[in-house]
Amino acid sequence: MTSNRLALAAFLVALAAVPAFVHSGYLLHVMILIFLNVMLATSMWLLGITQLISFGQAGFVFIGAMTSAMLTKDLGISFWVALPVAGVMSALIAAPVGRLSLRVRGVYFFLVTLAFGEVVRGIFAYFQVPFGGWYGVRDIPPPSPHWLFTPLDKVPFYYLGLVLVVLTCWVIWRISRSWFGEVLWGIRESELLASSVGIDVTGYKLVAFIISAFVAGLAGSFYANYVGYISPLIFDFTYSVNILIFVVVGGFGSLAGPISGAVVLTIIPEVFRATGKYQMLIFGLILVFSMLAMPDGITGALHRFQLRRARRAT
């Protein structure tokens, strides 16, 4: 256990030291994208423990982004206030949406959340005032203090992203190991049995849904004030599916799954930056082959590989 902790600490120190050695704005940007995607993937993973996938996460990210954009740009409120408010806003909307979505059987949950994502897009796109319509919102101010966060220097954003992602991962990890998480794992194993011992399955699923929406809201807020521009074209169904792919390809077994999935699958499209639409083709194929060949994801396959090696050694 201690060796794991040392490794983790070393890894975090390494991450913190990156900007000292890497000066390319582009590479730092990719790292920041990775941080964002890891946040989204881990929160999707928590919900996914209960075998639920929300196909409308893009909607919650967008809500968080829009909240933050409007608060910081139109109302001049500090980003540091807007950030938690964005999370709360997404969570507040997630409550009724989740409640309704959970009234229907598994597949229909997916579909309702999918539709929700589209509706968020639709609403923000339709009302140009105050949401900017299809043109979106530009010139979203970076966080204060303004001498630190300028659009030109990625480094402060890097550290902000690093703090956010480490916090998110830590909290989600603690949750998954807590009593609440234990119940989630039990629900995964057998909802019927869980119900029969007094667990309000729907209630727990709802809480997990709200938590994942909250994190999505936070991520959205960070995105808005980092990139400075948001629009309905960004947060579409493909965006939600991207998040899903991180988790599916990474594996469900542990937190390492979504993290590795997000890292790998943020880097790959940057490598193949050729065209946007081919990206969809590749993603589609990755999804298909992942599901067929590696239903447990990368971490699952690695785990099985390790088991096989251990067995051969004995």
Binding-site ranges for other proteins (CB under 8 A): 51, 53, 100-101, 103-108, 110-112, 114-116, 118-119, 122-123, 125-126, 171, 174-175, 178-180, 182-183, 185-186, 189-190, 192-201, 237-238, 241, 244, 248, 277-278, 280-281, 283-288, 290-292, 295
- Provide the minimum distance between the beta carbon of 39 and other proteins in the complex, in angstroms, as a whole number: 18
- Could you tell me which of 168, 221, 177 has the C-alpha nearest to residue 41? 168
Question: What residues contact residue 217 under an 8 Å CB cut-off, 6+ apart?
Answer: 60, 61, 63, 64, 67, 86, 87, 88, 89, 90, 91
Find out whether 291 and 301 touch, Cβ atoms under 8 Å. no
- Provide the minimum distance between the beta carbon of 192 and other proteins in the complex, in angstroms, as a whole number: 5
| Closest to other proteins by CB, 153 or 236 | 236
- Provide the minimum distance between the beta carbon of 241 and other proteins in the complex, in angstroms, as a whole number: 6
CA dist 212 and 42 (Å) reads: 8
| Closest to other proteins by CB, 244 or 259 | 244
| Closest to other proteins by CB, 165 or 187 | 187
| Closest to other proteins by CB, 29 or 188 | 188
Find out whether 256 and 32 touch, Cβ atoms under 8 Å. no
- Provide the minimum distance between the beta carbon of 292 and other proteins in the complex, in angstroms, as a whole number: 7
CA dist 151 and 229 (Å) reads: 12
| Closest to other proteins by CB, 20 or 292 | 292
Find out whether 65 and 224 touch, Cβ atoms under 8 Å. yes
